[in-house]
Amino acid sequence: MHPAARAPRAQILVVEDEARLRALLRLYLERAGYEVREAEDGRAALDSFDDAPADLLVVDLMLPRLQGEALIRAIREDSQVPILITSAKRSDVERIAGLRLGADDYLPKPFNVHELVERVNAILRRTGIGGGMSNGPGLSNGPGRRTTAGPGAGVDGTARLSFAGGRLVFEPPTRAYTCAGASGRLTPSEARLLLALVRAAGSPLDREQLLRAVAGPHAETSRNVDVHVGNLRHKLGDDPASPWAIETIPDVGYRWLPASDPVKA
Ligand code: CA
């Protein structure tokens, strides 16, 4: 058994108009193992994100050209990418307004850069995207029994997973998948859902557990678990009446079929 190959690093888009702070954030996030892109205003951030999605955004609210709030609203129209707000606006009302926009966390300025890195690590661990220094041990034991199904253990940091003899291949770091000839990208919520189901190693998860997996602690901003499961099934070509991947457990929730457990591809 050798350590899993290092997964591609999670990409952080830092949106901050103060050049010195931006450089500092880059330095510390890179030191923590992340790949960092920078944007100095909201418009540049939106262009950058449209060009290439990131795994997490660090967003200042007071920005030139496009304010942070408008940026987050625009991104949330079609992405559930984790967002950490950093802002000098520090009243509870402003903090709650930021979280209502769909941000995952809010760090008031001035902040300690180490704390920002810790929050980034925590959000990525929680959302199952991995990267940075938080990679789990990977699937070096193969598809056998896994007893350490907690967050951070298992599949998150693995670069490539193959399910059901290659029927589905999924790359957690990029969320890219190929399934029965079709390929695409899971949304962050679908990826979290998939990884949560797989991590449960054949045990059913109820909707409450799946909702937490999909939405993190701000569950009120999430959409319905059944909708996400439906979307995921559609992408995986999984027929609810005769599933190969996700089984509906009546009155409970869903479970990943053990016969389709992943192996490292
Ligand atoms: Ca600013």
Between the CA of 92 and the centroid of ligand 1 the distance, in Å, is 19
Between the CA of 59 and the centroid of ligand 1 the distance, in Å, is 9
Between the CA of 173 and the centroid of ligand 1 the distance, in Å, is 30
Task: Using DSSP, state whether 208 is helix, strand or coil.
Answer: helix
Between the CA of 62 and the centroid of ligand 1 the distance, in Å, is 4
Task: Using DSSP, state whether 213 is helix, strand or coil.
Answer: helix
Phi, psi of 68, deg, nearest 5: -55, -40
Q: What pLDDT was estimated at residue 218?
A: 45
Edge-to-edge strand ranges of the sheet holding 168-171? 182-185, 176-179, 168-171, 161-163, 262-264
Q: What pLDDT was estimated at residue 103?
A: 87
Task: Using DSSP, state whether 84 is helix, strand or coil.
Answer: strand
Between the CA of 74 and the centroid of ligand 1 the distance, in Å, is 18
Between the CA of 89 and the centroid of ligand 1 the distance, in Å, is 10
The residue among 59 and 200 whose pLDDT is bigger is: 59
Contact by Cβ (8 Å): 11, 55? yes
Between the CA of 22 and the centroid of ligand 1 the distance, in Å, is 10
pTM of the predicted model over 0.75: no
DSSP string of 147-200, one letter each residue: ---STTSSSTT-S-EEEGGGTEEEETTTTEEEETTEEEE--HHHHHHHHHHHHT
Q: pLDDT tens digits, residue range 243-254?
A: 999 999 887 889
Between the CA of 121 and the centroid of ligand 1 the distance, in Å, is 23
Residue 104 has pLDDT above 80, yes or no: yes
Between the CA of 189 and the centroid of ligand 1 the distance, in Å, is 29
- 176-180 average pLDDT score: 88
| 68 alpha carbon, distance to own chain's centre | 20
Q: Is the peptide bond before 173 cis (omega within 30 degrees of 0)?
A: no
Structure tokens of 131? 């990267």
Smallest CA-to-CA distance from 135 within 1, 3, 2 is with 3
Can you list the domains of the chain with their CATH numbers? 11-126 (3.40.50.2300), 149-264 (1.10.10.10)
Between the CA of 260 and the centroid of ligand 1 the distance, in Å, is 48
Contact by Cβ (8 Å): 71, 46? yes
CA distance 181 to 194: 19
91-103: b or e for each residue (b if 16 or more CB lie within 10 Å)? eeebbebbbebbb
Q: What pLDDT was estimated at residue 19?
A: 96
Contact by Cβ (8 Å): 123, 104? yes
Between the CA of 124 and the centroid of ligand 1 the distance, in Å, is 24
CA distance 1 to 91: 51
Structure tokens of 251? 């009155």
Task: Using DSSP, state whether 145 is helix, strand or coil.
Answer: coil
Contact by Cβ (8 Å): 172, 130? yes
Q: pLDDT tens digits, residue range 34-63?
A: 999 999 999 899 888 887 889 999 999 999
Q: What pLDDT was estimated at residue 5?
A: 47
